[in-house]
Structure 1
Amino acid sequence: MTTILLVRHGQSAANLTNRFAGHSHFPLTELGFVQAEKTADYITSNYKIDKLYSSDLLRAYNTACPISTKLGMCPIITEVGLREIYAGKWEGHNIDELPALFPEQRAVWAENIAECRIEGGETVREMAERSRKAILRIAAENDGKTVAMTSHATVVRAFETFARYGSVDRMSEVPWPTNASVNLYSYENGKISPLGYSIDEHLGEYRQKIIMENGTK
């Protein structure tokens, strides 16, 4: 069995300014770095991590660094498959602007996210398939081990939906994970099982509430 800790990155500059980051390289904010440290403390105090993976996007890599440090400079293996959804023409826009600029797409994103096709970017299903394959490949390569992966909100939400229901069709029923939350799974004989979603109590006063169903990245 492989134990998977799938971690959403800490608060990023895009989160702070309410921008859709996608594949853009936004760093963590001051709060985001504190959250990353708190999450690293939680992970390394409760789990024996054998390998550490990260999306190659800056905010996820920033989140992996404190985990690496607390593990004695454990190598961070970058994995493109863990990237956030590529948001095409949405990237960099303030999320509040999207309903006026892309009304039909934004409505689908809010109401039935699994069917959303972002203009010039990935579909949610394409992102879900790409990231799912990466996560399951890593899990299969690390049988009997515990692995941590730092990634992004839409990746985590899609994978949780797949783990619960076997597809992303019901993704709208799964809430967004909070910044720097830990999402726990087991993988055995090709089967993924969800064990804990959006675990963030360890953040204490640095925990953030998801205010709007907008999916800030």
Structure 2
Amino acid sequence: MAEFSTNDSTNFSYPRSDYVEIVVVRHGETAWNAISRIQGQLDVELNETGRQQAAAVGDRLSKESKLSVIYSSDLQRASETAQIIASRCGGVEVVKDADLRERHLGDLQGLVYHEMAKTNPNAYKAFVSKNEDMEIPGGGESLVQLFDRSTSALLRIGMKHIGERVVVVTHGGFIRSLYKRACPNGRPAGKVLNTSVSVFHLHVEDKWVLKMWGDVSHLSQTGFLQSGFGGDRTSG
């Protein structure tokens, strides 16, 4: 069951006994993001813009309700984002979790986005297929596998922290899967920009409520990429 609300999540007082508030943040910009090179599960560090973005979102979160813990993908672009956020929020603990990684994109990883159809047509065909069970050659995940991993990971984290507010730092394709779980009949999720903030309430009765989606108001000074490439065929 899912609902959608655009209410400001900061209006809620804690602790709450019936749900967890999970603030989902996409990692900051990398040099590969800037040239639309496909990262997938390859380990690429933040660039300087990405570090500034992470500081900006950290400053934003430091002014909101208190965080209990930060969970992060173990890929360094996410974990560095998480550490910067933690430093701005009073040294909150960061827990690395490999289940929060981006979609594995197989043989497409490392290719430039606009060249992948020519460079590896078989993998590209799988990537754009309407069959969501289609795995990408070279060890890549299908969209169904990504959805199952993403939603299971968030639910596992959420049920540990009912009544609390936690941050999850992860990746674009992963975050779009969470949107699909919370809003199965909603309009397309669109691009997930670097350090965008989305807020989910996970209730004990297995109800997901999306409170905020893709907000980047904290980046008014830093700027952001329009491409927002993530891990599924809607990326651009």
Q: Tell me whether the two structures share a fold, i.e. TM-score over 0.5.
A: yes
Instruction: For 2:37, give the aligned amino acid.
Output: R
What SS does structure 2 have at the residue aligned with 1:165? coil
Distance 2:198 2:134 in 1: 24
Q: Which residue is 2:195 aligned to?
A: 180
Contact 1:108/1:115, CA 8 A, preserved across alignment: no
Q: Does 1:35 align with 2:50?
A: no
Q: Does the CA-based 8 Å contact 2:28-2:54 persist in structure 1? A: yes
1:56 is aligned to 2:71 = no
Aligned partners of 1:105 and 1:116 also within 8 Å: no
- Alignment-derived partner of residue 89 in structure 1: 107
Letter in 1 for 2:108: W
Say what the alpha-carbon RMSD is for the aligned residues: 2.2
SS at match of 2:63: helix
- The 2-side partners of 1:141 and 1:58 are apart by 24
Partners of 1:36 and 1:63 within 8 A in 2? yes
Give the whole-Å Cα distance in 1 for the aligned partners of 2:73 and 2:34: 20
Aligned equivalent of 2:143: 124
- The count of corresponding residues between Structure 1 and Structure 2 is 212
Whether contact under 8 Å (1:54, 1:149) holds in the other structure is yes
Task: State the one-letter code of the partner of 1:146.
Answer: R
1:80 and 2:98 are equivalent in the alignment: yes
Q: Rg bigger for which structure?
A: 2
- Counterparts of 1:19 and 1:116, CA distance in 2: 22
CA distance in 2 between partners of 1:88 and 1:198 (Å)? 27
The counterpart of 1:10, out of the listed 17, 24, 28, is 28
Offset of residue 113 of structure 1: 8.2
Give, as a single letter, the amino acid of the residue that structure 2 aligns with 1:215: S
Alpha carbons of structure 1 residues 210 and 72: separation in structure 2 relative to 1, 3 Å: same
Q: Secondary structure at the match of 1:180?
A: coil
SS at match of 1:3: strand
Q: Percent identity?
A: 26
Residue in structure 2 matched with residue 157 of structure 1 by the alignment: 176
Distance 1:114 1:198 in 2: 24
Residues 59-115 of structure 1: per-residue CA shift (max 9 Å, x gap): 001110122112322221011110001111111111111111344653564574845
CA displacement at 1:123 relative to structure 2: 1.0
TM-score of the superposition, structure 2-length normalised? 0.82
After superposition, the Cα gap between the structure-2 partners of 1:147 and 1:18, relative to the gap in structure 1 and judged at 3 Å, is same
Secondary structure (helix, strand or coil) at the match of 1:14 reads helix
CA distance in 2, matches of 1:202, 1:194: 19
Q: C-alpha displacement at 1:46, in angstroms?
A: 1.5
Would the alpha carbon gap of residues 154 and 92 (structure 1) be closer, same or farther in structure 2, given more than 3 Å must change? same
TM-score w.r.t. the length of structure 1 is 0.89
Q: Which runs of 5+ in 2 are unaligned?
A: 1-18
Stretches of structure 1 lacking an aligned partner (at least 5 in a row): none
Equivalent residue, structure 1, for 2:212:
196
Change (3 A) 1:183 1:98: same
The structure carrying a bigger helix percent of its residues is: 1
Q: 1:139 aligns with which of 149, 158, 168?
A: 158
Q: How far off is 1:176 after superposition? A: 1.8
